[in-house]
Amino acid sequence: MIKHIKHHLTTPLLMGYAAGTLPEAFNLVVATHISLCDDCRAAQAEFDAIGGETMLDAGSVAMSDDALTATLAKIAQGDAEAVRPQRNGPYPAPLAVYMTDTSKWRKIGGGVSQMLLHTGDRASVRLLKIPAGTAVPDHGHRGTELTLVLQGAFTDAHDRFAVGDIEVANEDMHHMPIAEMGDDCICLSATDAPLAFHGLLPRIAGRIMGI
Amino acid sequence: MTDAPTVKRLAWISQLNAVRDHQDRAAFGDLFSYFAPRVKSFLMKSGSSPELAEECAQDVMATVWNKAHLFDGSKASVSTWIFTIARNRRIDMVRKLHRPEPEDLPWGPQDAPSAVDTLALQQETEILGQALAALPKKQRQLIERAYFGELTHAEIASETGLPLGTIKSRIRLALDRLRHAMN
């Protein structure tokens, strides 16, 4: 847990995470932020509670006659105990799971490296490493971009983002993040830009942001 | 005096503890007859066929039995906890998506949850439920659509009429009190 986190999850992200409707890439960023942020952990509990009460209010549909018997039979089969993943350095447990032996840092230009973690139908997520003092080229966004700082810090025209802070950027936002001096800045970054983006402009997109 | 709805929530906890401690089938039957039809309805409203919703609701209730030892009444109401199991089951079975969970919080030594904290959290959840039920129909439907999976993140973001500020703040206060007591 980190004190003084200034930039938190938004209501739509918390509600989407509680509802289970976010793309996997966004779920990972939300779970990683909550691992670092007590405020958002408490907020998540609230949104789960809203889900619970909404479910109670959603009516009831009769179960089949033998449902209880069938359920007791399922219980008799037992249930595998889930293994809880472990944190790894600056990488909280939910994120560490995505960093496998085959995950590699790759240079994407301008001194910036990325480690692609997951690409889904709706969104993708990667780690970005920006050397201290380096600027990421000015870029706009298609869809939503989530950027969570794990090490170091960056500033842009809007604000400063340090470890634990999350920036939620929309289509109408252009910015040029600059990594602060000190440690290299490592961020977890998810975008829900359509995959067609990759096919149409692979070189340019790859050079600019590695997406 | 504890109000009747909160007494009902405390009874769910007693039933769950009886399952955990004594594999009490009668207590489980009570939980089953209340929650399974609601989980089934929730899953059907989330787009499942009746057959799939029945199957998933049975799985959810089996998980309730198997994971009863993980429930903590000072941190969640039974309704909240069962919702999270139902949501995760829906993700696994219908959506085939992965939803990573946050790291466990180091809450300090895991003593049995205190009766005072448990009562407070159950009361706050009851108040939240009543506040939700009292919302104007249009606003309530918006929240339902979000939780039934009918709204994307962008659609939730574009909705400005989500009336959440007033209804949820008390649960946060209850959790804050608990966290400060633990740290």
Whether pLDDT at B162 is above 70: no
pLDDT of res. B178: 54
State the average pLDDT for chain A: 86
From the list A15, A52, A60, which residue is nearest B77 (CB)?
A: A52
A12: chain B residues, CB-CB within 8 Å: 153-154, 156-157
pLDDT band at residue B165 under the 50/70/90 scheme: low
pLDDT at residue A210, rounded to an integer: 46
- How many helices, marked H, and strands, marked E, lie in chain A? 7, 9
Q: Kindly state whether A51 is in contact with chain B, defined as any CB-CB distance less than 8 angstroms.
A: yes
- What was the pLDDT predicted at A163? 96
**How does DSSP assign B54-115, residue by residue?**
HHHHHHHHHHHHHTGGG--TTT--HHHHHHHHHHHHHIIIII----PPPPPP--SS-PPPPH
Name the domain count of chain B: 1
The predicted pLDDT at position B64 comes to: 97
Search chain B and give the residue with CA nearest A41.
B102
The reported pLDDT for the residue numbered B171 is 62
Task: Say what the pLDDT of residue A42 is.
Answer: 87
Top-confidence residue, B140 or B80? B80
Closest by alpha carbon to A126, among A156, A106, A110?
A106
E strand intervals along A152-191: 154-155, 160-161, 166-169, 178-179, 185-191
> What pLDDT is recorded for position B108?
55
Distance from C-alpha of B73 to C-alpha of B13, rounded to nearest angstrom? 7
Instruction: Extract the tokens encoding B154.
Output: 């962008």
Structure confidence at residue A141 (pLDDT): 65
pLDDT of A201: 41
Q: Report yes or no: B12 and B121 within 8 Å, Cβ to Cβ.
A: no
Do B80 and B54 contact (CB within 8 A), yes or no? Answer: no
B148 part of contact set with chain A, CB < 8 Å: yes
Residue range A159-163: mean pLDDT, rounded? 95
Q: Using a pLDDT cut of 70, give the percent of chain A over it.
A: 87
Chain segment B4-49, per-residue pLDDT in tens: 999 999 999 999 999 999 999 999 999 999 999 999 999 999 999 9
Which residues from B are below 8 Å from A93, CB to CB?
A: 102-103
Q: Are β-strands A113-119 and A106-107 bridged in parallel, bridged antiparallel, or unpaired? A: antiparallel
Q: Taking 60 as the threshold, does the pLDDT of residue A62 lie above it?
A: yes
User: Taking CB atoms and an 8 Å limit, are A58 and B148 in contact across chains?
Assistant: yes
State which residue of chain B sits closest to A17, comparing Cα positions. Answer: B99
What is the band of A161 on the pLDDT scale with cuts at 50, 70, 90? very high
At B96 the pLDDT is: 67
B68 within 8 A of A75, measured Cβ to Cβ:
no
Q: Contact A55/B147, CB-based, under 8 Å? A: yes
- Of B83, B102, B157, which has the smallest distance from its Cβ to A52's Cβ? B83
Q: Given this model, what pLDDT does residue A211 score?
A: 45
Residue A138 in this model has a pLDDT that exceeds 80: no
Q: For residues A50-74, give the mean pLDDT.
A: 96
In order of A19, A206, B10, B88, the CA distances from A16 in angstroms are 5, 29, 29, 13
Q: Is the pLDDT of residue B182 over 60?
A: no
Which value does ipTM take for this structure?
A: 0.91
CA atoms within 13 A on the CB side of B171: 32
Per DSSP bridges, beta strands A145-151 and A154-155 are unpaired
Where does residue A75 fall: left (phi above 0), alpha (psi -120 to 50 degrees), or beta otherwise?
Answer: alpha
Provide the pairing of β-strand A145-151 with A166-169.
Answer: antiparallel
Chain B residues near residue A75 by CB distance under 8 angstroms: 62, 65-66
Q: Show the domain range for B111.
A: 4-182
Burial class (CB in 10 A: 0-12, 13-18, 19+), A154: buried
Choose, out of B45, B58, B59, B81, the residue to mutate when testing the contact with A (most A CBs < 10 Å).
B58
Q: Can you list the domains of chain A with their CATH numbers?
A: 101-208 (2.60.120.10)
Q: Is the C-alpha dihedral spanning A157, A158, A163, A164 positive or negative? A: negative
Is the model's pLDDT at B169 over the cut of 80?
no
Taking only the tens place, the pLDDT of each residue in B84-112 is: 999 999 998 766 678 999 998 765 556 67
Phi and psi angles of residue B101, each rounded to the nearest 5 degrees, phi first:
-100, 150
DSSP classification of residue A31:
H
Q: What is the rounded distance in angstroms from the CA atom of residue B51 to the CA atom of residue B40?
A: 10
Q: From CA A136, how far away is CA B64, in angstroms rounded?
A: 48
- Which of residues A144 and B93 earns the better pLDDT score? A144
Confidence of residue B176 (pLDDT cuts 50, 70, 90): low
Q: In the 8-state DSSP scheme, what is residue A99? A: -
- pLDDT tens digits for range A88-108: 999 999 999 999 888 899 998
User: Cβ contact (<8 Å) for A43 and B172?
Assistant: yes
Strand order in the sheet with A106-107: A106-107, A113-119, A124-130, A185-191, A145-151, A166-169
**CATH number, domain containing residue B135:** 1.10.1740.10
Q: Which residue of A has its CA nearest to B142?
A: A54
- Higher per-residue confidence, B171 vs B90: B90
| Mutation site for B-interface testing, chosen from A21, A24, A170 by largest number of B Cβ within 10 Å | A21
* Rounded-to-integer distance, Cα B33 and Cα A62, Å: 9
SS3 content of chain A, % helix, strand, coil (to 5): 30, 20, 45
Tens-place pLDDT, residues B122-134: 998 998 888 888 8
Note the pLDDT tens digit of each residue in A104-134.
999 988 899 999 999 988 899 999 999 999 9
- Summarize the confidence of residues A12-39 as an average pLDDT: 94
